[in-house]
Amino acid sequence: MGRVETSSIKPPVTSQGVLGWLRANLFSNWFNSLLTIIFMVLIYVVARSVLIWSVQEANWLAVVDNLGVLTWGRYPSTEVWRLGLSLSLIVVMGTLTWILWYRHSNPRIRRVLMIGWLLMPFVLTILIRGIILPTFRTIVNNIGYYIVRPDVLISLDQTWRANGALTLAGLLTGASWVIFKKLRSRSLAIVGGLVIIALMIPLSTQSRPWIFGITMPMAIPFLVTFSLSLLVGRAVGLSFVNVTGSARVLAAWWLLSIPIILIVLTTFEVGNEAVDPVEALLIVPPNIWSGILLTLALSVVSIVASFPIGVLLALGRRSSLPVVKGFSILFIELVRGVPLITILFMAQVMLPLFLPLEVNIDRVLRAMAGMTLFTAAYLAEIVRGGLQVVRNEQIEAARALGLNEFLVTSLVVLPQALRAVIPPIMGQFVSIFKDTSLVAIVGLLDVLAVSESVIKARDYLGAVREMYLFVGLFYFVLSYAMSQVSRRLEVQLGVVEKD
């Protein structure tokens, strides 16, 4: 509490008014005076010409008239409200969090907010990309195919849906087996899994070429999928076996899984308008996202997606399993050793060669994948630094309490490690946000590329500086805001900056 005491006795005022301040800060010795004069002349010359240019010569209309195109690019103009809605959703959620998080640090409110933020990516994806929903007729009709005409599913190339549903059902059944204690709940869960399996029986008898072109009955991949997800579900369930509320969460998942499974199984078209799923929101594929929308989508997706991968890679690098460790090191060092642009270039021209001819990944998605892997490698190194900060006693104490490895890592190690490295992580996010501009070089229409394209119109010719200044300002405002947030977090969490 020494601070309070010292602040009560203020130091004597040393500066004497404006003149004193000037003297102390600008003209303290001959060298400083010289510097001040030189820089003042410099500022005058630059500021004057910039002012004259921006008032008299600059064609700011090039920016003003094209704000729409710069923002949403080729997004259909009738659907732009969806972008507005997404933005307002984020703003509302952000403000709510801002207000509620610290003032009422009620765990229930916090939990609701957390769930809201976790749902955000899905809601935004659906809103921006659009969605096809099955109608009731579609569901009935298309489920019928699994039972009576599985051959049609094969000819429509929709059998992957069965695997999707089986994976979800397997995960939930596996988790239920260890988490649910009561016989009735257990048997209900097993019934749930069995229903999905039963649905797939007709399809299982069909054969089609699988990996490496070997034709086999579909029962084999189905069995593999289901048993693998059963095992994974069991493993995950084991980690939560004694956590309070886990049974309730799992039950909620079961309930949630019903619409998900139905959507997964039935959103395919059979060419009959009467029963085909309807476009509830017009699909706007990522390929035509452009402008600021693309820039933000690229950054948000790579930031969100790279985080778990980066943490896994960091854990992998410290793993005691030599294969996992070697793989992580190889990946991290390879990616960190090459420029991002070469990775984007590879994703655009080399990746398609490695995929089957009939598989096409959207160009924007390819860029997202490239940026995600790139960021993940850098994040992994940052997180590894954080992991080194966590003291060994912490881990030993957690183990002594009987936590298993998964819980030790997720409840003790990671929270401490991540807290220590929040500033560099934010720095990395700022950096990836700025790096999205590189997609302009590989031909995607981000805000930079759109700005180059719109000044080709007759009215805005030659407005190069105006456009680049606008784009620069856009990046500056957001990056600066991000770094300010990072500084606040730093102060709040009491983390010392490590440069």
Which positions from 245 through 274 interact with another protein, judged by CB under 8 A? 247-248, 251-252, 254-255, 258, 262, 269-272, 274
Size of the site for another protein (CB under 8 A): 126
Instruction: With beta carbons less than 8 A apart as the criterion, state whether 364 and 288 touch.
Output: no
Report d(CA 260, CA 253) in Å as an integer: 10
Distance of CA 26 to the CA centre of its chain: 47
Binding segment for another protein (CB under 8 A), chosen from 66-74, 87-95, 301-309, 486-494, is 66-74
Q: Which of residues 38-57 bind another protein (CB under 8 A)?
A: 39-40, 43
Task: State the nearest-atom distance from the C-beta of 288 to another protein, in Å.
Answer: 7
Task: State the nearest-atom distance from the C-beta of 99 to another protein, in Å.
Answer: 27
Q: Which of residues 165-184 bind another protein (CB under 8 A)?
A: 184
**209 three-class SS:** strand
Which residue shows structure tokens 């820089």? 39
Non-local CB neighbours of 253 within 8 Å, separated by 6+ positions: 172
H/E run at residue 248: helix 246-266
**214 three-class SS:** coil
Nearer to another protein, 48 or 336 (CB): 336
Q: Is residue 456 at the binding interface for another protein, with CB under 8 A as the rule?
A: yes
Q: Is residue 281 at the binding interface for another protein, with CB under 8 A as the rule?
A: no
Binding segment for another protein (CB under 8 A), chosen from 3-11, 303-311, 410-418, 444-452, is 444-452
3-class SS letters over 18-49 = HHHHHHHHCCCCHHHHHHHHHHHHHHHHHHHH
Q: Which of residues 295-334 bind another protein (CB under 8 A)?
A: 320-324, 327, 334
Task: State the nearest-atom distance from the C-beta of 103 to another protein, in Å.
Answer: 30
Among 30, 102, 122, 354, binds another protein (CB under 8 A): 354
Nearer to another protein, 1 or 496 (CB): 496
Number of CB atoms found within 10 A of residue 130's CB: 17
Among 329, 469, 489, 495, binds another protein (CB under 8 A): 469
What does the DSSP 8-state code read for residue 303?
H
Residue 213 falls in which region: left (phi positive, over 0), alpha (psi -120 to 50) or beta:
left
Q: Is residue 288 at the binding interface for another protein, with CB under 8 A as the rule?
A: yes
> Dihedrals φ, ψ of 132, to 5°?
-105, 125
H/E run at residue 278: strand 278-281
Q: Is residue 61 at the binding interface for another protein, with CB under 8 A as the rule?
A: no
Task: State the nearest-atom distance from the C-beta of 145 to another protein, in Å.
Answer: 7
Q: Is residue 60 at the binding interface for another protein, with CB under 8 A as the rule?
A: no
Q: 224-227: which pairs have CB atoms within 8 A and are 24 or more residues apart?
A: 225/163, 225/166, 225/167, 225/170, 226/166, 226/167, 226/169, 226/170, 226/193, 226/197, 227/170
Number of CB atoms found within 10 A of residue 98's CB: 10
Nearer to another protein, 207 or 342 (CB): 342
Q: Is residue 211 at the binding interface for another protein, with CB under 8 A as the rule?
A: yes
Q: Is residue 422 at the binding interface for another protein, with CB under 8 A as the rule?
A: no
Q: Which of residues 367-406 bind another protein (CB under 8 A)?
A: 399, 404-405
Nearer to another protein, 15 or 95 (CB): 15
Among 19, 20, 35, 64, binds another protein (CB under 8 A): 35
Q: Is residue 16 at the binding interface for another protein, with CB under 8 A as the rule?
A: no
Among 63, 66, 175, 414, binds another protein (CB under 8 A): 66
Alpha-carbon distance values, 184 to 52, 176, 220 (Å): 80, 11, 30
Q: Which of residues 101-120 bind another protein (CB under 8 A)?
A: none
Q: Is residue 287 at the binding interface for another protein, with CB under 8 A as the rule?
A: yes
